[in-house]
Structure 1
Amino acid sequence: MAETEAVKHVVLAKFKEDLTPEKVEEIINGYAGLVSLIEPMKDFHWGTDVSIENLHQGFTHVFVSTFESTEGIAEYVSHPVHVEFANMFLQHLDKILVIDYKPTTAKLS
């Protein structure tokens, strides 16, 4: 299996139920805006759960960011803009799970 250099930062979240859709959209737009403000953050995607397996454990949103290295994630996590955003983001969540991983591609024969 071939390992890529990039590192993915995956955040699973469940927003508090009393948030309006407009507030959720505002928060997501703020998250997406970090990619243009924090240099190590190279890419950002997000979506909502659409699984038919019902194994989401209450998580409703997924956010995936790409970094060149684990050092880039460390720089991102401690960046003042991220710290400010994270403090606001966390107060609007019921649940959060964060995983960082290096993608590996399986060789198919």
Structure 2
Amino acid sequence: MPPVHHFVSFKYKPTLASPEISASVRHFTSLNTSVTRPDGTPLIRSFIRGENSSPEGLHQGHTHGFLLVFASTDDRDTYLAHPAHVKFATEVKGMVDGVYVFDINQEEAFVDGAVVKA
């Protein structure tokens, strides 16, 4: 199975204070280590986060992005149903005006100009 790249972005409510946004980002980031298989190994192979820095102006108000990589769709699906993820998703709904999620089943990748097959 190819890896799954799971992209999430948040459009936080404009009334939300910076410390609340920071706490939300920390909570999401903590899923990187708290969501594990029964044997204790993490489901998330890679976790990248950051704020929008695009000069294109196409972010539609989304300010924070997260890219999680899973080894398979099964791992991604297990993550989505995990109680820690469900709790976070429920909590963040009240903090955002929009959420965007997009998953890619990796077919091919290029790293430093070289092709990397899944």
Offset at 1:102?
2.5
CA distance in structure 2 between the aligned counterparts of 1:54 and 1:84, rounded to whole angstroms:
32
Q: Could you tell me which residue of structure 2 aligns to residue 49 of structure 1?
A: 52
Which of 49, 59, 67 in structure 2 is aligned with 1:64? 67
Q: Could you tell me which residue of structure 2 aligns to residue 90 of structure 1?
A: 93
**TM-score scaled to structure 1, two decimals?**
0.87
Task: After superposition, give the CA deviation of every residue in 1:42-74 in whole Å (9 maximum; x if it has no partner).
Answer: 221111111111111221111111111111111
Closer, same or farther in 2 for the Cα pair 1:43/1:105, shift >3 Å?
Answer: closer
Q: Name the count of aligned residue pairs.
A: 105
Q: Structure 2: which 5+ runs fail to align?
A: 37-42
Task: After superposition, give the CA deviation of every residue in 1:12-56 in whole Å (9 maximum; x if it has no partner).
Answer: 111011111111111100101001111212221111111111111
Identity over aligned residues, as a percent? 30
Q: Structure 1: which 5+ runs fail to align?
A: none
Deviating above 3 A after TM superposition, structure 1's stretches of 4 or more consecutive aligned residues are none
Matches within 5 A, 1:73-84: 73-84=76-87
Task: After superposition, give the CA deviation of every residue in 1:59-94 in whole Å (9 maximum; x if it has no partner).
Answer: 111111111111111100101111111100111111
Which of 92, 101, 105 in structure 2 is aligned with 1:102? 105
CA distance in structure 1 between the aligned counterparts of 2:32 and 2:52, rounded to whole angstroms:
22
Which moved further from structure 2: 69-78 or 4-13?
4-13
**TM-score scaled to structure 2, two decimals?**
0.81
